Structure 1
Amino acid sequence: MDIDTRLLRYFTAVAEEGHLTRAAERLFISQPALTKQIRQLEAQLGAELFSRSRNGMTLTEAGTALAAAVPPVLAAWDTALRTTRSAAVRAARVLRVGFVASAANEMTQRIIAEFARRRPGWRVRMLQTGWEDPTAGLAGGEADVALLRLPFPGQDELGVEVLLTEDRWLALPATHRLADRELIDFREVFDEPFVATPDASGWWRDYWLAADERDGHPVTVGAVANTPDEWLNAIANGFGISLTPEATARFYQRPDVVYRPVRGVSHSQVGVVWPREGDVPDVVHDFVRSAVTVSRAVSQE
C-alpha cells in the first residue's frame, strides 16, 4: 500500500497539536480540508486514528502506533528529498527565491545583482505565491530561499536574517471618511470591516488584522483576498480597509486606493529566510550573505 507523505505530515500535525484548528493553522490549510485528509488516511489504512470530541483529537491505539512509526519515515524521506533537490539546484544553476508580494522592496534587485557577482553563471528565479502560504513555497520545498514578511507561522524552525523594518500603514478606498487624514489612530477603525488573508495563512492573518492590538475589540472581516490584485479590488470597492507595509504605497498605486500612516500598531519586517536543517546548498548561503550585505549597505546610505 502506498501512502502519500503529505497525509502522514497532516496526521503528525494533528497528533502533536491534539486539535484540528491548531493543526490546520500550522499546516496553512483550512480545517475542513484537513478533516478530509485525515479521513482519507483512515480509509486507506482501514483504522480509526483519532477519537474525536469537543475537547479535541485523541489518538486511538492504532493512531498511537502510527504516531511512533511515522517520524523516522518522514525524516528519511526529507533527507532524500533535500539531497535530490540540492543536486538539482547545483546542476541547473538556478536558485528559486520565493516571495509573497513586494519581496525585499527596492533592495530586491540589488540583492539579485550582488548574488550574481558572488555566483557568476547562476540565475535567480523569483517565485511568487498567494497569501495562503506566508512562507512563499519554502515550507513545501518549492523555493530554496525566500524574501518574506515577518513574523510568519513556522518562522522559529527556519533560518532568518532581518533585512529591514518599516511601519504598517492603512489602505483605504479613496472615498473613505478618513482618506484625507495625514495620520490615523488605529482605534478609529476598530469597528471597520477589514480585508483579510485566507484562513489557511494561520495566525499570519491575525497579525495583519492586528487582532492582538485592538484592546479586545473583535475583528470584522469584510472580504478575503488571496493575492494583491484581489486585495486592491476589495479595498477599492469598499468591502474593507487593510493594514499593509509602508512599501505598498510605492509598489501598488492606483487612483481609487489611498495609503495613510497609522498610529497604534507594531512595525513590520522583511527577512531573508532559508531551511536551517539538512543539506542546504552553499549557493543558498551565498544568497543570504548577498541579502545581508545589501541590507547593511542600504542602512548606511
Structure 2
Amino acid sequence: MDVNLRRLRLFVALAEELHFTRAAAKLFVAQQSLSRQIAELEGELGTPLLRRTSRRVELTPAGEVFLAAAHEVLDRFDRGVTEARGVGRGEQVTLRVGFVVGAALELTTHILSEFARRRPEARVELHEFGFADPLAGLAGATTDVAFIRLPSSTHGLVVTPLFTEPCVVGVSAAHPLSRRDRVRVADLLDESIAVGRTDDGVWRDFWTLAGHRGGTRPPRLVETHSQSEEAEVVAAGMACCVTPAAARRYSPHPGVRFITIEDHRGSTVAVAHRSPRPNPLVASFVDAARAVRDREPGILRTIQGAAGAV
C-alpha cells in the first residue's frame, strides 16, 4: 500500500481534535473531503481507525497504534526535509548518537573519527543515558543511533554487534570474596545485588543473574540510578554488583574490588537504530562502526580479555 503524506496529516489532525468540523477548519479543507480521505485510508488499511457516533469521535485500538506510526513517519520526513534543505544551503546536518555508560569503550573515539572522515558535513550530538534507558534514547526516538549493551529488550531495533565483553562482580574491599581472583555464579546467588533501576526486564534479569536462580530472587535488590551510585553502594558493603569487565578501567574505586565471574556469559556492545532502511547518516555511522571493529583486532583482544586483568 502507498499512503500519501497528506492523508497521514489529515488523520493526525483529526486524531488530535477528535472532531471532524474542527479538524477540517484547522486544515482548511471541506468536512466532506476530510471524511472521504479518512474513509479511503481505513479502506487501504483494512481496519477502522475511528469510532463515529452522533455525539463523538474516538480512536479504535488500531487507530491508536497507527497514530503513533503516523507521528513517527511525519517527524522523520519533516526532519529529513529540513536537513536536506540545510545541506543544500551548505549547512551541517546533525546525527544524534545515544550511549550508555562506556559507549563502545576503546573503540568509541575511533568510530567517531571514522564517521567524521566519511561524513565531514555532519555534526554529531552525543547523549548519555543512565540505567533507566538501556536503549539510549532509541525507544523514544530522541536519538538516531546508539551504542547499547545486550541483552536488553531490542524489539523493533536493527542491531549490529561490535564485541562481547566478560563480566565481573564488584564487591566491597572488606567482603570475604574480595580476596579471590575468580568466582562462580553459585558463589553469588546468596548475595544482595545492586542493579540499575529500569523497566527493561531482559536487561535487569541479566545483571541480577536471574537465569541462574531457577525462579528465585536475590536476598535483596538495591536499585541504583547511575554507575557512580552503584559503586558507592558496593563500597559501603550494601550489595555486590555484576558489571562489565571494563569497570576495572573506566570506574575504579578504592573501596571496590572487581573479580572475574567464570561462568556468566558476557555482555555484548552493539550499535543499534530503529529503521531497517536507515537514513544515509545512520547507515554511514553503522558502516564506520563495522569498519573500525574489523580493523582493530588488537583493541578487541584487550576488551574481550579484560576479565583476566588484575
TM-score tier, shorter chain, comes to 0.7 to 0.9
1:72 corresponds to which residue? 66
Structure 1 residues 144 and 87: alpha-carbon distance in aligned structure 2, compared to 1, 3 A threshold = farther
2:263 corresponds to which residue? 264
TM-aligned CA deviation for residue 156 of structure 1: 3.4
Pairing of 1:147-158 with structure 2 (within 5 A):
147-153=147-153, 155-158=154-157
Task: Give SS of 2:97's match.
Answer: strand
Structure 1 residues 187 and 292: alpha-carbon distance in aligned structure 2, compared to 1, 3 A threshold = same
Structure 1 Cα separation of the partners of residues 83 and 199 of structure 2: 29
Aligned residues: 242
Structure 1 residues 85 and 131: alpha-carbon distance in aligned structure 2, compared to 1, 3 A threshold = farther
1:198 correspondence with 2:186: no
Structure 1 residues 111 and 88: alpha-carbon distance in aligned structure 2, compared to 1, 3 A threshold = farther
- The C-alpha deviation readout for 1:171-225, integer Å capped at 9, x for no partner, is 1111111112110111011110000121423331111111012344422334111
1:176 corresponds to which residue? 175
TM-score under structure 1 length normalisation: 0.74
Pairing of 1:1-301 with structure 2 (within 5 A):
66-88=60-82, 91=86, 92-153=92-153, 155-277=154-276, 280-299=278-297
Structure 2 Cα separation of the partners of residues 88 and 174 of structure 1: 54
TM-score under structure 2 length normalisation: 0.72
Structure 1 Cα separation of the partners of residues 149 and 135 of structure 2: 9
Name the structure, 1 or 2, with higher relative contact order (CA <8 Å, separation 6+): 1
Give the conservation status (yes or no) of the 8 Å contact 2:114–2:292.
Answer: yes
Structure of higher CA gyration radius: 2
More moved, 75-84 vs 139-148: 75-84
Structure 1 Cα separation of the partners of residues 145 and 82 of structure 2: 15
TM-aligned CA deviation for residue 300 of structure 1: 6.1
Give the conservation status (yes or no) of the 8 Å contact 1:225–1:231.
Answer: yes
Structure 1 residues 215 and 112: alpha-carbon distance in aligned structure 2, compared to 1, 3 A threshold = same
Structure 2 Cα separation of the partners of residues 84 and 204 of structure 1: 33
* Structure 1: unaligned runs, 5 residues or longer: 5-61
- The C-alpha deviation readout for 1:141-169, integer Å capped at 9, x for no partner, is 1111001101211x131111100011111
2:303 corresponds to which residue? none
Residue type of the partner of 1:163? L
Structure 1 residues 188 and 282: alpha-carbon distance in aligned structure 2, compared to 1, 3 A threshold = same
Structure 1 residues 294 and 207: alpha-carbon distance in aligned structure 2, compared to 1, 3 A threshold = same
Q: Once the two structures are aligned, what percentage of the paired residues are identical?
A: 31
* Structure 2: unaligned runs, 5 residues or longer: 1-12, 17-56, 87-91, 300-310
Give the conservation status (yes or no) of the 8 Å contact 2:167–2:244.
Answer: yes
Give the conservation status (yes or no) of the 8 Å contact 1:191–1:219.
Answer: yes
